Amino acid sequence: MRVDLFDFDLPPERIALRPARPRDAARMLVAAGQAAFEDRTVRDLPALLRAGDVLVFNDTRVIPAQLEGRRGEAKIGATLHKRIDLRRWQAFVRNGKRLHSGDTIEFANGVAATAEARFDDGSWTLVFHGDEPVEVLLERAGQMPLPPYIAGKRPTDAQDRSDYQTMFAAQDGAVAAPTAALHFTPELMAALADAGIGNERLTLHVGAGTFLPVKADDTAEHKMHAEWGTISPEVAARLNAVRAGGGRVIAVGTTSLRLLESAADDACVIHPFSGDTAIFITPGYRFKGVDGLMTNFHLPKSTLFMLVSALMGLERMQAAYAHAIGHDYRFYSYGDSSLLLP
């Protein structure tokens, strides 16, 4: 499909630079089938789902994966993208043309890494020095990797350390937050439980590739970056039991959805999963692992807008986004939410 089919105009003032407070006070646009759109809030979620449904959360934890350093006199910026092993990470590098294999980059507070090898897409393998875990080094030298559309408008600050982390964050490894889950609070989770709505956890370590624009003119020419994820046998079994009992599996966020779809077979059975996924979902895809999605509002011509268009239909999502823009919804990572029920 032509990528320009997924374009739309978004006024810059619709981009949220801070999250709603409290988190579950964010607005939520409900699109259920072909029914009229509903303007609700995230707190209404218990009344919008059915007893027996289950919400699936990504429990990845964002690490401070944005690093600033030097190789000699050259300034080098690095955003870690994907773990390779205990000391090696693949990273997108700013000013990477100044690097050569074997160069040492000196980051803040005594943290250093060697640029080992360059990938075809321009990213590098960085090998971190010393014996301390890389996560410890990042806490010392790194910053939270806010999306470019926020970082370009204001500097990252201490508040982002908590704002850009979900209440479910447990497994270190993401360089971008599963932002749909930023709206949840302990109070909302208690209300969902009282309404008979369950929850499950999986892990997908979101990579920096989620921010990369689609540069191809046709979706068939775009290559997704791989991300690592896991679904335990116990979670897979419980999710299959929910559907067998008539409940719905509602993914919280496109990251949860992409992993569930990677793990589901053509018979709509969700299997245990552990490994990389580079699934790219566009209109025409047949969904096998989910029955609905809660997600924020995405960038024009992004793979995530293509995904929601695959779930609900392109015209339906174009209308939903026009409604959201016209009704002053807040967009992107710190913005408002939508509940999509095909």
The continuous run of DSSP H or E covering 307 comes out as helix 303-312
DSSP symbol at 15: B
Spatial separation of the C-alpha atoms in residues 117 and 3, rounded to whole Å: 32
Q: What is the pTM of this model?
A: 0.92
Spatial separation of the C-alpha atoms in residues 35 and 47, rounded to whole Å: 17
Residue 74's DSSP bridge partners are 71
Contact 300, 275 (CB under 8 A): no
pLDDT digits (tens, 9 = 90+) for 248-280: 999 999 999 999 999 999 999 999 999 999 999
Spatial separation of the C-alpha atoms in residues 288 and 300, rounded to whole Å: 26
Contact 290, 261 (CB under 8 A): yes
Tokens of 79: 């955003």
pLDDT exceeds cutoff 80 at 57: yes
Q: Which fold has domain 66-142?
A: Thrombin, subunit H (2.40.10)
Q: What is the CA radius of gyration of the chain?
A: 20
Spatial separation of the C-alpha atoms in residues 195 and 174, rounded to whole Å: 31
Spatial separation of the C-alpha atoms in residues 138 and 132, rounded to whole Å: 10
The domain spans of the chain are 3-62+162-341, 66-142
Contact 310, 288 (CB under 8 A): no
Q: What is the structure's pLDDT at 211?
A: 64
Residue 113's DSSP bridge partners are 105, 128
Strand blocks (E) in 260-299 = 273-277, 292-296
Looking at domain 3-62+162-341, its CATH superfamily turns out to be: QueA-like (3.40.1780.10)
pLDDT over 70 percentage in the chain: 99
pLDDT exceeds cutoff 90 at 213: no
pLDDT digits (tens, 9 = 90+) for 320-338: 999 999 999 999 999 999 9
Q: Rounded to 5, what percent of the chain is helix, strand, coil? A: 30, 30, 40
How many C-alpha atoms does 42 have within 13 Å on its Cβ side? Answer: 27
Question: Closest Cα partner for 259 from 245, 269, 274?
Answer: 274
